[in-house]
Amino acid sequence: MSRKSKRKQATQDAPAPQAPARSGGISRRSLFIAAVAALLLAFVSGALFYSSEKAQAAQRLAAKNRELLASAHSPSYGNADARVHIVEFLDPACETCAVFYGHVKKLMADNPGRIRLSTRHVPLHQGSEHVVRMLESARAQDKYWEALAAVFAGQDRWTVNHRVYPERAWPALEGLGLDLERVRREMNAADIAARMERDAADARTLGVTKTPEYFVNGRPLPRFGLEELQALVREELRSAYQ
């Protein structure tokens, strides 16, 4: 008897005799551990492969449809000659959009004159298209950015648990110097509807299904996240203003 099998026998004395720990040459334990490792490896490599494929597909899609990103009709903010251009697809009722808006403003303030922001509207929440109409209508009075900031700031009063109460958004626009009667009168104009349709069509073409979605100089975020956005903006700033 080899020394090895002697050792095996010693460890096997503990369990019940009808439950031998060996089966067909490899021990049950190593079979189990190998299976756990194989399954986890398959999952992790599958997940990494899938997400990198997805990021690349998004990049290709954005590169192919670059001219759709910021159409001339989009509201634009900041230095028109800035070499870094952020295009943001947003929904006024989206909480993450409201949170990220402050961070984007801070990025712009930290790099004065170097970043331009354009917004596109994707009202994914039911009822939020009413608020988009209000914002679009405020543009005619040159108050779009003030209105957007106010709507985001008061968001928790007109969006509760992802449910939009469009009428409650009106008080947010008070005190901005807007003629609210005119906003109401003009918000159903045909050109506003056409712009909203254009935004929706471009979002579909670019594969934007969630908000906020950012494109920095035509490049989508590799993965959604504030740090990813800040890193992408830093990278573009570096290559534009070396």
Minimum Å gap between C-beta 84 and other proteins is 29
Beta carbon of residue 64, minimum distance to other proteins (angstroms, whole number): 23
DSSP string, 33-55: HHHHHHHHHHHHHHHHHHHHHHH
Judged by the rule CB under 8 A, the positions of this chain that interact with other proteins are 1-2, 5-6, 8-9, 12, 15-16, 18-23, 28-29, 31-32, 35-36, 39-40, 42-43, 46-47, 50-51
- In the bound state with other proteins, the residue whose beta carbon lies nearer, of 38 and 201, is 38
Q: How far is the CB of 187 from other proteins (least distance, A)?
A: 30
82 close to 115: Cβ distance less than 8 angstroms: yes
Cα–Cα distance between 10 and 7 in angstroms, integer?
A: 5
Tokens 């089966």, residue?
23
User: Distance from first CA to last CA of the chain, Å, rounded?
Assistant: 75
CB of 92 to other proteins, least distance (A): 23
75 versus 212: smaller Cβ distance to other proteins = 212
By C-beta, is 52 or 205 nearer to other proteins? 52
- Decide whether 7 or 184 has the Cβ nearer to other proteins: 7
Give the closest residue to 107 by CA, choosing from 222, 240, 221, 231: 231
d(CA 237, CA 235): 5
